[in-house]
Structure 1
Amino acid sequence: MTEPTTKLRVDKWLWHARFFKTRSLAAKIVSAGKLRVNGQPISKPAHAVTAEDVLTFPQAREVRVIKVLALGERRGPAPEAQALYDDLSPSQAREPEPHTPRFEGKGRPTKKDRRALQQTRSDMVE
């Protein structure tokens, strides 16, 4: 009957693959010129992507490198969205959180801990 689509707008694909919560957020990243398709910077959200294209874009605090495997027809559940791409991003070891001496993951300090902290603070002032 009808031939399945072989191309899809890049903002729509990023939304289908669940990289961005809304399609307008995906379009904003593309419009800002932060997306590359096969190494070429793209600035129009209507740019068409096909299977086997490689997308490079920033997301949160890391740069994602994604290979498009399929286009998808809808924004489905996460397992369905993960089947649309192959993640080629280098696995970066997360930097450890900076150590804060007051909070060591134990929750609220006890009364004894607060008194000791207050004593060390008053010693520093004098």
Structure 2
Amino acid sequence: MPEKEKLRIDKYLWAIRIFKTRTLATEACKAGRVKLNGQNVKASHEVKLGETYNVSKGLERKILTVTGLLENRVDAKTAVNFYADLTPVEQTPAFKSMFHSPVLRRDRGTGRPTKRDRREIDDLQEGYFEKPQGEEEE
């Protein structure tokens, strides 16, 4: 695959398929959702081998280490060779949804939940969508 000496972080995150478009990657950098050593990174930041980035995308948080530079977007199987995902298993969305998400099921035809039903649903979901302790606000 073509490798490059200098590469912008927004282009790199797009190429390894973390973000669907390069514009979304640029906006994430501007919003402070991409960090290097706890510091926000501009979209024009130059990526270097071995650097570790914290990337927030919705409820998903990833810790990525650069293992190779990739200029153009490639298929997912190839893209995983250019970064190492150091995200702890407990922080992955699949883990959270498998073990921690409340299973809410309503019978078909029961209509909208009443105010009381809604409060019970909210009590079940309490704390699931909040950030874990130790993470700062963005």
Question: TM-score when scaled to structure 2?
Answer: 0.66
More strand per residue? 1
Number of the residue aligned with 2:101: 96
Unmatched 5+ residue regions in structure 1? 103-108, 119-126
How far apart, in 2, do the equivalents of 1:31 and 1:7 lie? 20
What letter corresponds to residue 16 of structure 1 in structure 2?
Answer: A
Unmatched 5+ residue regions in structure 2? 112-138
Number of the residue aligned with 1:58: 56
Task: Give the 4+ runs in structure 1 shifted more than 2 A.
Answer: 4-7, 95-99
How far apart, in 1, do the equivalents of 2:50 and 2:6 lie? 11
- 1:30 is the counterpart of 2:35: no
Rg larger in structure: 1
Provide the aligned C-alpha RMSD in A: 2.0
Percent pairwise identity: 32
What letter corresponds to residue 66 of structure 1 in structure 2?
Answer: L
Question: TM-score when scaled to structure 1?
Answer: 0.72
Counting matched residue pairs gives: 102
1:1-126 superposed matches below 5 A: 5-42=4-41, 44-92=42-90, 93-94=95-96, 95-102=100-107
* TM-fit CA distance, 1:73: 2.9
What letter corresponds to residue 84 of structure 1 in structure 2?
Answer: F
What letter corresponds to residue 98 of structure 1 in structure 2?
Answer: V
